[in-house]
Structure 1
Amino acid sequence: MKKFDSLTYLINTLSKAEKKQFAISSSKGESTKDYLTLYNLITKSDSVNEESIVKEFRKTEKKASFEIAVHYLYEKILDSLVLLRKKKDIYYSLFQKLCKAELLYERSMFRECFDILNSVIEKARENQVYEILLMATKLELEYLLRLDFPNISEKELSQKHYQQTESINHIRKITEQASLYNLLKHRLTYKGDVRSRKQEQSLNDLMISEMYIATSSGNKESNFEMTKKHKLFQANYLMGIGDYSAALRSFRELSELFENNTQFWANPPIYYISVLEGILRSLRTMGNYEEMPYFAEKLKELSDNYSLEFKINTLCIAFQYELFPFFDKGDYAKCKEVITLYKDDLFNKDSWLNPIRKSELLLYTTLVYIGLEEYNRAKKTINSIIPEHNMEYLPIMKTIRLVKLIIYYELGDHDFVRHQSQSIRRGISLKKEQAFQTEHLILWYLNKVNLPVLSDERKKMLEKLDKKFKELHNDKYEKQLLSIFDFTIWIESKLLRKKISYILNAKNQL
């Protein structure tokens, strides 16, 4: 990425608080501030074009170098962000104090150096920032060694070594927990939620290892990071195997843990966001729509205090769970209202979404258009999903492929459906353990020739399929795919020649 492009991207990610901090830091110091001219040109331009910005810059700053201004502005913004982060993030603040302690020691200001180190050690222990605690104790012991251990007894020295060893143990256990949690999330991401007993057993090695670490950690309840990692692992494991009621209990415990320990939140609070999303997902799966608005509103409140990228991605989660209560009941007209409501704040800024979030946004928008029978619009929306890197192997992309087949089927492009179905079948045959029965059912229906014409015959066919439908809905593994889109409802609507909204509304009234 060119430096100018990096600069414009960086500026566009600034929150209101970050822009304010930059304005404050830029109001002091230098007499010449051509970089501020550049900043104002970029922020006030509707569409940033380097050529036009260069032209405008040189009109105002005739003696200044545009390239130097770009580099200088970039560094000034980063310095401003670091300064702001220091005020909000204990890690940044303590790390800077360590740097000050080193500078004081180099100038033989030993008392002042050790005062800062003692302050850092106390604060790091209080806030459970073990990496900084280890660095501070290591630096303290190094300086004491160089000065021949002034005014310190052997017992006190042993105590300092013990504190250092304790920090190392905490870091090791937290790192081990994190590695197991990462492996769990990787398996669930790339292999999808558990779809069989065999796959459930494949996660047990991680669960057993994690439980061993958790139970061997002594009083882990007093350690936020260990407790957080343990409960996150539990909740995501339970979600992965389809035990949503137990997962909901774990996520609620996590939410309480976070709310009682706001001083330990990451900046931005990505783990707390994942907890709220876990609660919302569990509530939706259990059909508890009444509680969802409360947690969706919490997401919106959190999104306002951080960067634009964080805000848009968090807002995307809130949008989905504001949509689902209407989506799951087939009220597609209301769904369209929700989409319109989020048009300016989310859809017009979807370039800030990470690839998975953007795919989710476009998928659910596509499904709303299918429900409204606006198939050309649905086709245009789903074809705008462009997978990045290895995204085509993610479970959501398999769902997107099936939904795309349904759209082309509705538009009468049966050659495309047949060709893509063969491609999907080849993929399923290579990895049989990753195939949902729902996938086989949809591919069978889409490629079935000579469907009954008479209504009575179509109803008989539906009656034969009804047993299969019930088996799928009673299977906790198949439910994971059907929760994204109930493909059985679509088949039923085709056989009965009724709208999906009619079928869903009738089922919700039973």
Structure 2
Amino acid sequence: MSSFTALQALVHSLSKAEKRYFKLFCDLQTGNKIYFCLYQLLEKKEYGPEEITTIMSKKYPEAVIETARKHLYRMLMKSLRSFESDKAIENRLMQRIQDIKILFNKGLLELCFGELERAMELALKYEKFSYYLILARLELQYLTLLEFPDTDENALITKQEKINQVLHQEQWINRHFTLDEVLLHRYLHNGPVRSQLEINKLNDLLLEEFQVISNKHHHSILSKKLHLHFQSTYFLMTGNHPESLHLFKQLLVLFQAHQHLLLDSPLYYIYLINGILTDLRSMRQHREMPYFIDCLRRIEPASESLALFIQHLLYLHQIILALDLGNYAQGEILIQTYKKEILNKVKVIPPNADATIHLAMALIYFGLHQFPTALHHVNYVLHQSSKYISHQVYSLCRILRLIIQVELKNDDYLYYELRSVERKLKAEEKLFKTEKLTIQFLKKWIASNRAPKHLELFFRNVKEIMQDPYENQLLTWFDFISWTEAKLTRQTYAQLIQAKNKEMVC
């Protein structure tokens, strides 16, 4: 991306509030504002870099466009820093550090040390230990320069011991963060475990987390938050949804009791609500889902990108709810609204989250018998790089593409595609029972000109295999049993899903 294109992307990413603030910020500046003319051209989205350069050269023949570009970038970043300055504890602490340095350099020592004390209290209150360490070292640096005024040896040692204590606490919290991030990485990239072997691979993290909890001498709200998040994610990943839901709800209580956690780490809170909704769906407790969807809706995001991610999750869970209940028409309405509001802004949506909603869209259109549209959404996922998408989502899309091709009666294409999918899954060592069974069935069924005996055998086998809790997870997304039954009884997949849902409600 060129520097000019990057600047254009930055201008287009500004929210309405940020644009208003930037214009007010520029009004306070003096001198020739060539950079602001450049900003106005970039804001219009009508011109490319070459056209903008031509317009600027005609309007300001003596100006250097590259200088105006650099100055606009500096002014935008300065404005955004000012706009965000009081929204996060880190920003407030960084401002305090700058204020303290200015006061010391001006010789206003009482004000300086007063600010230092208040800033250190703020850092400890919100458990920003790395900022506390910066402030504490700054205090000792200034005391040393001033030859330790009003500070005896005991007071100095007390300050040093406090630094060591906080440093120790920060080290343990950093270890806890590391484990939590590794577990979350495995969950987001691999999805739920599919075998006992995969559970065993998680035990190293579980043991390390236990050691961190056991050896920690200082307990804090932050460490409790990390512990609950780690444990709830572990149980979510291993398919123990009741225990995962129980821990997520404990974490929710912690957030509600300490509101600064929500302001300080909104992404953790968003993933918390997302985890609760995932557990409720897996447990088929759909009646509870609207309440937590509303919890997502009530979050006040600190940035436009976070607001967009929340909107994405709102649509995702509403589409999923419509999908699970067999309300395919309602799901299509949600999809159309999503496309109008969010689809052109997917650059800030994580690739895996983007792929997941396209899988949900594909299944909605599958239920509506709009198979070409369903195939379009599946192909969208499969054309993305698999390294950014969880294996479960990617694998499901591969299998779903085969089933859609069955519905479209593209048997010639299926012959080659089946071999390709089987080869890829074997190479990745991800050919689990359901995928293997489905591929073998489709190969035999197509080769026999769709003989009913293969369909009946697959129906019996898939019912049996779905008793395995590791394989049963796939039913959350696509009901292989209902699809096979629909073929045998000449009903539609949608009719059987809706009938099953009515039985569960009754």
Instruction: Check 1:273–1:213 CA distance in 2 against 1; reply closer, same or farther (3 A cut).
Output: same
The letter for the 2-side match of 1:8 is Q
Residue 189 in structure 1 maps to residue 188 in structure 2: yes
Change (3 A) 1:23 1:145: same
- Give 1:98's aligned amino acid: I
Do 2:482 and 2:496's aligned partners in 1 also have CA atoms closer than 8 Å? yes
What are the ranges of 5 or more consecutive residues in structure 2 without an aligned counterpart? none
1:449-488 equivalence runs, <5 A: 449=445, 458=452, 464-488=457-481
Query: Does the Cα contact within 8 Å between 1:13 and 1:307 map onto a contact in 2?
Result: no
Q: How far 1:175 moved relative to its partner?
A: 0.6
Q: CA deviation at 1:127?
A: 1.6
In structure 2, what is the equivalent of residue 443 of structure 1?
A: 439
Give the corresponding residue for 2:414. 417
C-alpha contact 1:15 1:306 (8 A) present in aligned 2: no
Which of 263-272 and 4-13 deviates more?
263-272
Q: Over residues 120-164 of structure 1, what are the superposed CA-to-partner deviations in whole Å (9 max), with x where a residue is unaligned?
A: 111111121101001111111222223332211222112111210
Q: Residue 310 and residue 48 in structure 1: after superposition, are their counterparts in 2 closer, same or farther (change >3 A)? A: farther
Shift of 1:255: 1.6
CA distance in 2, matches of 1:33, 1:136: 38
Describe how 1:346-495 pairs up with structure 2 within 5 A.
346-385=342-381, 386-388=383-385, 390-391=387-388, 394-430=391-427, 432=429, 434-449=430-445, 458=452, 464-495=457-488
The residue aligned with 2:101 is 102
Higher mean C-alpha deviation, range 190-199 or range 158-167? 190-199
1:81-136 Cα distance to aligned partner (Å, 9 max, x none) = 11222211111221222233234434544333322221211111112110100111
Equivalent position amino acid for 1:225 in 2: L
- Alignment map for 1:8-87 (pairs within 5 Å): 8-45=8-45, 47-58=46-57, 60-87=59-86
Q: 1:78 to 1:174 in 2, by over 3 A?
A: same
In structure 2, the CA distance between the partners of 1:296 and 1:56, relative to structure 1 (3 Å rule), is farther
Which residue identity is paired with 2:502? Q
Q: Deviations over 1:29-60 (max 9, x none)?
A: 22322222222223233x55223333444455
1:241 positional shift:
0.6
* Structure 2 equivalent of residue 2 of structure 1: 2
State the alpha-carbon separation in 2 of the partners of residues 257 and 106 from structure 1.
42
1:339 has 2:327 as partner: no
| Offset at residue 28 of structure 1 (A) | 0.3
Which amino acid counterpart does residue 311 of structure 2 have in structure 1? L
User: Residue 412 and residue 48 in structure 1: after superposition, are their counterparts in 2 closer, same or farther (change >3 A)?
Assistant: farther
The CA deviation at 1:268 is 6.5
Shift of the 224–323 alpha-carbon distance from structure 1 to 2, 3 Å rule, reads: same
Q: In the alignment, what sits opposite 2:251?
A: 254
- Range 347-356 or range 396-405, more displaced: 347-356
Q: CA deviation at 1:341?
A: 2.6
CA distance in 2, matches of 1:48, 1:267: 39
Once the two structures are superposed, residues 414-464 of structure 1 have per-residue CA deviations (whole angstroms, 9 ceiling, x without a partner) of 3432333223323443454x433211122123212368889xx84x76664
Shift of 1:470: 3.5
Letter in 1 for 2:260: Q
3-state SS of 1:195 partner: coil
Number of equivalenced pairs: 502
Measured in 2, the distance between the counterparts of 1:268 and 1:51 equals 41
Structure-2 separation of matches of 1:467 and 1:82: 62
The correspondence for 1:233, drawn from 230, 233, 244, is: 230
Aligned residue number for residue 118 of structure 1: 117
Going from structure 1 to structure 2, the CA distance change for 1:464 and 1:170 (only over 3 Å counts) comes to: same
Match of residue 147 from structure 1: 146
Residue type of the partner of 1:24?
Answer: L
Shift of 1:393: 7.0
TM-score, normalising length: structure 1: 0.91
Q: SS of the counterpart of 1:87?
A: coil
Contact 1:3–1:71 at 8 Å: present in 2 too? no
- Secondary structure, aligned partner of 1:477: helix
Aligned partners of 2:69, 2:252: CA distance in 1, in Å? 43
1:333-358 per-position Cα deviation (integer Å, ceiling 9, x unaligned): 12111112323212243343222222
1:509 corresponds to: 502
Q: What is the TM-score when the length of structure 2 is the normalising length? A: 0.91
CA offset at residue 264 of structure 1? Answer: 3.0
Tell whether the 8 Å contact from 2:386 to 2:394 is kept in structure 1 after alignment: no
- Give, as a single letter, the amino acid of the residue that structure 1 aligns with 2:225: K
Distance 1:44 1:241, change over 3 A: same
Residue 448 of structure 1 aligns to a residue in which SS? helix
Secondary structure at 1:193's aligned position in 2?
Answer: coil
Aligned identity (percent) is 29
Encode CA deviations 1:196-248: one digit per residue, 9 max, x unaligned: 2222122122112212212333462xx22211111110110000110111111
SS of equivalent to 1:403: helix
Structure 1, residues 347-372: CA drift from partner, whole Å, max 9, x if none? 24334322222212222212222222
CA distance in 1, matches of 2:54, 2:357: 38
Q: Report if the CA contact (8 A) 1:332-1:372 is conserved.
A: yes
What letter corresponds to residue 470 of structure 2 in structure 1?
Y
| Aligned equivalent of 1:496 | 489
Q: Is the alpha carbon distance of 1:485 and 1:423 closer, same or farther for their aligned partners in structure 2, counting shifts above 3 Å?
A: same
Partner deviation per Cα, 1:310-338 (whole Å, 9 max, x = no partner): 22222121111111222113221121111
> Aligned partners of 1:164 and 1:17: how far apart in 2?
40
- Indicate the residue corresponding to 1:316 in structure 2: 312
CA–CA distance in structure 1, aligned partners of residues 8 and 256 of structure 2: 36
Structure 2 SS opposite 1:344: helix
Instruction: Give the Cα separation in 2 of the matches to 1:211 and 1:325.
Output: 36
- If asked which structure has higher relative contact order (CA below 8 Å, sep 6+), I would say 1
Seen in structure 2, the aligned counterparts of structure 1 residues 494 and 69 have a Cα distance that, compared at 3 Å, is farther
2:456 and 2:488 in contact (8 A); partners too: no
What is the CA–CA distance in structure 1 between the aligned matches of 2:476 and 2:82, rounded to whole Å? Answer: 44
What residue in structure 1 maps to residue 133 of structure 2? 134
